[in-house]
Structure 1
C-alpha cells in the first residue's frame, strides 16, 4: 500500500466479507524500517501502540530492535507484557480502580518494567499509600502540559510537585512526559517553531532539578506529527504511533514523512436507492466517525463521490445519474483517522503481494480488559 500507487488490486477480494479492515504486512514492515532509519539510535524510539493494538505489529517492532513502548490502556500494557516487552510506559495517570489494576499488572508480569504518568499530588498520595500496602514501587513520569491543555502540569509548576513527590514512599520519579498533540500544522517549519517555543521551559525544569540532585531523567516527547523535530534532540525518546499504518489525514498534512498507507477498510455496494445514490455497508461501526461526514474516509477507486448520510451500518453516497455502479461493487476506503478506525474492528485481514493470505491479526487491545 504505497502512497504513490493505487492499492486496490487485491486479486481475491471476492473472498472477503465486508466491511473489513485489511493490512498490507510488507508495507507495515517498510514503515517500521523507515522509522528506524529516521533517527540516530533505535534506543530513542518508544512507539505508541494505540494505533495497531496487535501482537503481530509489536513483534515486527521488536524484530527491528525496538525495546521500549508506550501505550494508552491497561489492556495495551498487558498485550505488550505478553509479547515480552521489557519497558512499558503507560501514558495515563491511574485513578480509582485503574491504580489497583496497574499494580496487579506489575505483579503479574515481573519481567516487564512498567511506569505511568502523574500530574497531581492528590493522586500521588493515593499511589504512594496503595503501593506501600501492596509492597511495590511505582515508577513515574511527570506529565507536562506544554500547550495541549488536556492533562499534565505546567513545566514551571512541576518543580514543586517533584520535590513533594520525592518525599513519598514507594514512588520513583523516572522521567518527564510531553505530548504536544496540539501541534499538527502542515508546514513542518511551523511545527518546529512551536516545539522550539515551548521546549526551553522543559530544559529550564531539567536544569533546576539538577541543582537538587535529580539527574538523568528520561524525557519522552511527541507523537507522529512532531517526530521529525524531536528526533533531532539527541537526549529525547520519541513516541510516534500512527506511522505503522498511516492514514489519509496524515498523508495530506505531513508530506515530509513518506510513510505508506498500510491499512484500508473494504466495503461493498449493497443498495441502489436512487438514480444518483448508492449505499455501502460502511457505517459508524466500521469507520471512525468523529470528523464531519465528508472527512471520514477517502475512496481510492471512487475519489469524486459525495457523502450524503451515514448510520450504524450504512453509508449513502452521491454519484452521477449516469453511473455504472452495481450491487456488490467493491470500494477501497482509506481512513482519514486510522487509530479509532482500527479499534472498531475485531480483526484485520492480511494482504501480501496483492492477495489476501488467509491470515488474521486480532485487534486484541481494542477491549479495555484482557485478563486484568
Structure 2
C-alpha cells in the first residue's frame, strides 16, 4: 500500500506538507551517529553489534553493517525473523527463547540464515532447544550463556550453576557454546557519569570473574557481548566485552539526553528521531490541541520535548489517545490550527513500535519512506 506521504518525496519543502502525526528521521543526524560510534568502537578495539530492537529496520541495520558492525542484535525471535526476511544476517537474539513453538521457529530460522546466535540462561531449556535443532536437521545453533550482572531481568547468576550450564552447552551435540552475554540495563540511565562508571565496573567485574573461571575450566568464551548507549564510552576501557550492543545511539531521545545534560554535559550523539504533529484546535487561552496523543508516543518516560514550532517555555502534554496538548508559559501565546510542532520522543524504542514507517528527511526535503520492518514483532 502506498504511504499517504509518498507523493511528497523529493519535493523541496515537502517535510512541511507531511500528513501528521509523522515519525521523522533526520538522515544527516542518523548517518553521523552511525559513523561516530563505528569510529569509536574501531579506535577502542571493540566490535560493534548494534541493537536493532531500537529501530526494527533492515535499512538502518544495513547502514550499520556497512559502517563496520559485525551484525545486529534483536530482542525477540520475531524481530530476527523479520530482519532475516529482509536480508539481514549475523543476528544475535538477546532474549531467551523457551516455548515449544518458539524453539521450533528458532530451529527453522537457524536453518535458513547465516550467523544466527541465541542466548540461554536455564539448563531446563537446554535439552528442549537441542531437540528442536536436531528435529529440524539443521546445522548446530550457536549459543551465548546469558549472565545476570545486576539487572535481574534475565541471565543466570554468576557461580557454580553458571559453570555447569556453560559446560552442558559445550557438551551438547546440537549446540555450540560461543561465549557470554551480560546486559546492565539498570546502569544505562544513571544521570551522573562517576556513578554510572562505578556501577558499570561492578557488573563487569562479575563478568570478568566468570570469564576467567570458564577459561580455567577449558571453556574460554570467544564472545562477550553487552553494554549499551549509556556506557559506550565506559565499557571498552575495561577490556571485558568483545562486542558492544548499543542501540539507542542512532536516534537518541529525551531520556538519554537527560543522562548527559542533567550531568552538565552535551550528549555524545545527535537527536535524529522526532514526531511532527499539527495543531488542530486553539480555542482555549493558554493551550492548544495537537493530533499526536498517547497512540503516537511511548509514555512511560514522561512527555515529549518540544524542539521546534512553539514559543520558548511551551510544554507538551498528553490530551487523550489521539490528541496531545501544548501548554504555553505565557497564557497570551497561541498557535494557529495547522501549525506544525516538532517533538523529541521520550523513549525512542517503543515509540518506533507504534509507527509503520519512517519519513526520512534531509533538511526540509522528504527523501524516502522506510518501513519499520519489525513493527509489532513481539513474539
Aligned structure 1 segments of 4 or more residues deviating by more than 6 angstroms: none
Sort the Cα spacing of 1:273 and 1:99 in 2 relative to 1 into closer, same or farther, 3 A: farther
Secondary structure of the residue aligned to 1:32 is: helix
The answer on 1:331 being equivalent to 2:341 is: yes
- TM-score of the superposition, structure 1-length normalised? 0.89
Q: CA deviation at 1:306?
A: 4.0
2:60 and 2:152 map into 1 onto residues whose CA distance is 31
Gap runs ≥5 in structure 1: 1-9
3-state SS of paired residue (1:272): strand
- Matches of 2:269 and 2:317, distance apart in 1: 31
Indicate which of 57, 65, 69 corresponds to 2:72.
69
Q: Cα gap change, 1:356/1:265 in structure 2, threshold over 3 Å: closer, same or farther?
A: same
| Residue correspondence of structure 1 range 81-92 to structure 2 within 5 A | 81-82=84-85, 84-92=87-95
2:343 counterpart SS class: strand
Alignment: residue pair count:
355
Please list the CA deviations of residues 275-330 of structure 1 after superposition, one character each: whole Å capped at 9, or x if unmatched.
Answer: 22211111111111123xxx220011335234554321011332343123111111
Gaps of 5+ in 2: 1-11
Taking only aligned residues, the RMSD between alpha carbons, in angstroms, comes to 2.1
1:239 maps onto 2:245 in alignment = yes
**1:233-312 mapped onto 2 (5 Å cutoff):** 233-234=238-239, 236=241, 237-254=243-260, 255=265, 257-291=267-301, 295-301=302-308, 302=310, 303-307=312-316, 309-312=318-321
1:224 and 1:240 in contact (8 A); partners too: yes
1:106 to 102, 110, 125: 110
CA contact (8 A) 1:268 1:328 kept: yes
**What residue number does 1:364 align with?**
373
Deviation at 1:367, TM superposition (A): 3.0
Moved more, 275-284 or 70-79: 70-79
Aligned to 1:119: 121
Q: Paired residue for 1:185, among 177, 181, 190?
A: 190
Say whether the 8 Å CA contact 1:50–1:339 is kept in structure 2.
yes
Residue 168 of structure 1 aligns with which residue? 172
Contact 1:42-1:65 at 8 Å conserved across structures: no
Q: Distance in 1 between matches of 2:64 and 2:94?
A: 19
State the shift of 1:273 in Å: 4.2
Normalising by structure 2, report the TM-score.
0.87
* C-alpha contact 2:94 2:118 (8 A) present in aligned 1: yes
